[in-house]
A and B are shown apart, each in its own frame.
Chain A
Amino acid sequence: MHGMPSILPLRVENLVLEREGRRLLDAVSFILPAGGITALIGPNGAGKSLTLRLCHGLIRPEGGSVAWSTGDGRIAGRPRHAMVFQRPVMLRRSVRANLVHALEALSFERAATRADTALARFGLSDLAERPARLLSGGEQQRLAIARAWALEPDLLMLDEPTAHLDPGATRQIEGIIAGLAGEGMTILMTTHDLGQVRRLADRVLFLHAGRLREDAPAARFFQAPASPEARAFLAGDLLW
C-alpha cells in the first residue's frame, strides 16, 4: 500500500443526519489516516452503523461532508472503500459466483483469477461451488469479507462483523481482521464487544446519542476515558 495512491485520509466533517424530525447524528467529525484498526463504539442507537453508511455513501447527510483524498473515494474509476454488512448479503449463487459478481468491473478472466485468489486467501476453496446461502454464519461472514477484500479497497468498513457468530467463528473473524490490518489495509469497524475492541483496535471513536464524545487511542480510552458518558459506558451503565 505504501507509495501507492490512496483515498485516505478520510475527512469527515460536521455530519448531520435527520430522520422524521429526529437528529440521529450531530456534528460528527473525525479524520481517518491510512493504517490501523479504528473501532466505532457506543450504545445501541448511537449512530455507529449510520456513520459507516454515510462514509460509504449509501445515505446522504443533511449536513456536513465526507471527503476522501481523491475527492470521490475512487482511483481509476473504481471505488476504493468497501463495506461488509452486519447481515452478510449472500446472492443466490455459488460461493465463487458471489465473488465473481462483485468483480464485474474486471474482465472475466481477471475476475476469475481474483476470485480464486480470494477463495484461497480466506480458506474458502473447498466451498467454492456450494450455494453461498447454505454456508454457516461464520463461513458467510468470511465470504463477505473475502468479497470486499477482492475489490482491493484501501479502507474496509465492517458493521458488527461478529454480532451473530459463536466464539470460535468470532475468533476466526478477528484473526482475519487483524491479518488484513497487518497487510496494510485500513479498517473502520463498529462493534458491541468491548473485549473485541481491546483485542483489535488501535483507536476508538466513541459515539453517544449521535455525537462523537471521544476520539482516542484504544489504550488511553480504556485507561482514562475523558468523558463521563464513556466512563459510564465502560462501567456497563446503560446510556440513552
Chain B
Amino acid sequence: MLRLSCFLRKLLSDVKIPLYIIAMDVLGAMQAAIGLMVTFDPQFLQIVGLSLRVTLTAVLLAALIGLPVGAWLALSRFRGRAALIVLINGLMGLPPVVAGLFVFLLLSRSGPLGPLGLLFTPTAMVVAQTILVLPIVIALTRGTLEELWQEYREHLTSLGLTGWRAVPTLLWDGRFALATGLLAGFGRASAEVGAVLIVGGNIAGYTRTMTTTIALETSKGDLPLALGLGLVLMALTLAINAAGYAASRIGARFAG
C-alpha cells in the first residue's frame, strides 16, 4: 500500500499535475457525462445501442445453440463425455482477447471465412461474443438438467418422457437457474473489451461499443464520454444482478 502511494506521488510529481486539478477534472468530467446521458446525445446513444444490440444478439444465439447442446450433454452417455464437460467448463474462463484472436484469424482476409468480408463488422463482434457466452450456457444447462433428470427420471420415464421427450420438461423446470445463467452470460459479454476490440476494430459510428470507447477515450484523456458510458455499464451490471437475484428468489419458491 505504502509503495503504491509512493509510486502515485512520484508519478504525479513527474507529470507535474497537482492532485486537486485531477480531482477538479474528474468532477467536471462527471458533470459532462451526466449531461451526455440526460440530453440523449446521439453519439452516446448510438454507442450504447450498438453494445446492447451486439450483446443481446450474442446471448440469444448462445441460448439457441447452448440450451439444446447442454441438454444433449446432460442426458447422453458416451466415451469422452467427461473430457468434453471439463473442456467446456474450462472454456467458461476463456480470455476474451483469445476468443477475439480466434475469430480474427477465422475472418481475416486469408482466413477460412475471409471471403465473407465480416471482419470489423458488428456481425464479427456478435460471433466473438457468442463464443464467449456459449460455454457458460452449455455448462449451466448441462449441470441444471442433469440434476433435474436425476430427480425426475423415474416419474418422466413412467410417463414415457425419455430422451429428447424429457428435454422440454427439464428446460422449463430449470427455467430460473437457466435465466440466471443467461444473465451471467450477458454480464460477461457486455463487460468484455478484448474480443470486440480485435474483431470490431473500434470504428467510430460503426463498431464502437461502450467498453472499447471507454478504453479509447480514457487513453485520449476525453473523460466525460468514458465516464458516462462507465456509468451506463455499471447500471447495466446492477440491473443484471438484480434480475438474477429476482430469478433465483422466484425459482426458490417453486423449488420448495
Q: Please determine whether chains A and B interact with each other in the same assembly.
A: yes
A residues with CB within 8 A of B: 53, 56, 58, 79, 82-83, 85, 89-93, 101-102, 104, 131-134
Would you list 8 pairs from A and B whose C-beta atoms are within 8 A, ordered by A residue?
A79-B160, A83-B158, A91-B173, A92-B173, A93-B254, A102-B159, A133-B254, A133-B256
Q: Which residues of B contact A133 (CB under 8 A)?
A: 254-256
Name the distance in Å between A112's Cβ and chain B's nearest Cβ.
17
Task: Write the B216-256 contact mask toward A (1 if CB under 8 angstroms, else 0).
Answer: 00000000000000000000000000000000000101111
Bound-state Cα–Cα, A92 to B161, Å: 16
Please give me the residue from chain A that is nearest to B158 by CB atom.
A83
Residue of B nearest to A131 (CB): B254
Contact A89 B256 (CB under 8 A): no
**B158, A91: Cβ atoms closer than 8 Å:** no
When chains A and B are docked, how far (Å) is the Cα of A110 from the Cα of B76? Answer: 33
For the complex with contacts A132-B256, A134-B253, 4 further pairs of A-B residues with Cβ separation under 8 Å are A56-B158, A82-B158, A104-B159, A104-B161
B160 contacts A89, C-beta separation under 8 Å:
no
Which B residue's beta carbon lies closest to that of A83? Answer: B158
Q: Are B254 and A89 in contact (CB under 8 A)?
A: no
Tally of contacts, chain A with chain B, CB under 8 A: 40
A interface majority secondary structure:
mixed
For the complex of A and B, 3 pairs with smallest distance between CB atoms: A133-B256, A89-B155, A92-B254
Tell me whether B41 is interfacial, beta carbon within 8 Å: no
In the complex, which residue of chain B has the Cβ closest to the Cβ of A78? Answer: B160
B contact set with A: CB distance below 8 Å: 151-152, 154-155, 157-161, 169, 172-173, 251, 253-256
CA separation between A89 and B173, bound complex, in Å?
12
A89 with B255: in contact, given A56-B158, A82-B158 (CB under 8 Å)? no
Q: Which residues on the A side are within 8 Å of B251 (C-beta)? A: 92
In whole angstroms, how far apart are the Cα atoms of A83 and B155 in the complex? 8
Question: In the bound complex, do residue B152 and residue A91 qualify as a contact, i.e. CB atoms below 8 Å apart?
Answer: yes
A101 to B166, CA, bound (A): 11
Residue of B151, B155, B251, B253 ringed by the most chain A CB atoms within 10 A: B155
- Contact present for A101 and B158 (CB under 8 Å): no
| A83 CB contacts on chain B under 8 angstroms | 158
List the A side residues contacting B151 at CB < 8 Å: 89
Give the residues in chain B near A89, CB-CB below 8 Å. Answer: 151-152, 154-155
Q: When chains A and B are docked, how far (Å) is the Cα of A79 from the Cα of B255? A: 29
Contact assessment for A91 and B169 in the assembled complex, using a CB-CB cutoff below 8 Å: yes
Nearest B residue to A105 via CB reads B160
Tell me the bound Cα distance from A38 to B216 in angstroms.
78
On whether the beta carbons of A58 and B154 are closer than 8 Å, the reply is yes
Distance A91 CA – B171 CA, assembled complex (angstroms): 12
